[in-house]
Amino acid sequence: MPNDLMRFKITYMIIAINLIAYAISILYTGDIIDIPARGLVDLGAIFGPQVVLGGDWWRLVTAMFLHGGMTHILMNMFSLYIIGRPVEVNFSAMHYVSIYLITGILGGLTSIYFHPATVAIGASGAIFGIFGALAGYLLAFRKDLGDSAKGMMKDFAAIIGINVVIGLSIPNIDMSAHAGGLISGIIGGFVVARYPSKFWIFVIGSILAMLAFYLYLPSLYKI
């Protein structure tokens, strides 16, 4: 187990941060199974008007570490455990963390675009981002990986199923964030696989896309 912890330290670190955030949510709200939306907003959930009109851009980061209930966090952390480890094997620490954060933020922005007045939380946008990154990586090397790629794709199907269930059954989880994370993750993973020295272009391009997205969002509100 110690060797496993060291080998997949980033995945376990992200899981730990999410669990700590959930513990803080419990202490703040006094609820264990279902965290009230008002408490989540107080702790840094995405709420479109506050993010866009109030300038609380930092919520795009904090929201990806908050969860709405016990089922929500357990399902997301299980998904992260499954997909994070193969990502950590094939990607550098810098690539892994960068893609996780970038896709999580882009997922949050996509969520605001489609649901401008909804409270949104959860790691699933970022999880779909690293899922997409590994899919992009496998796409780039699909001819060389053979049966191992097929095994990973089965894990992918399980994760998609889990997150579809989450998206359809738990309030404040929207599939648009999943799509935003997935698409940007596929691009990032493909760049890492084929053009690793050009990854900075993906990062800068993503930052510019975030800025453009953020500057556009006020047009969704009648002010």
In the three-class reduction of DSSP (H, G, I as helix; E, B as strand; rest coil), residue 172 is classed as: coil
Pairing of strands 46-47, 119-120: antiparallel
Integer Cα distance of 149 and 200 in angstroms: 27
Exactly one of 124, 176, 184, 206 is catalytic; name it: 124
Exactly one of 67, 72, 95, 178 is catalytic; name it: 178
Q: What is the DSSP letter of 152?
A: H
Cβ 174 vs Cβ 127: under 8 Å:
no
124 given a catalytic annotation: yes
Q: Which residues pair with 69 in a beta bridge?
A: 34
Q: What is the DSSP letter of 119?
A: E
Residue partners of 70: CB distance under 8 A and separation at least 6: 32, 33, 34
Integer Cα distance of 40 and 45 in angstroms: 5
Residue partners of 84: CB distance under 8 A and separation at least 6: 8, 10, 11, 14, 15, 130
Q: Which residues pair with 119 in a beta bridge?
A: 47
The owner of tokens 């790629």 is 149
178 given a catalytic annotation: yes
Which of the residues are catalytic? 124, 178
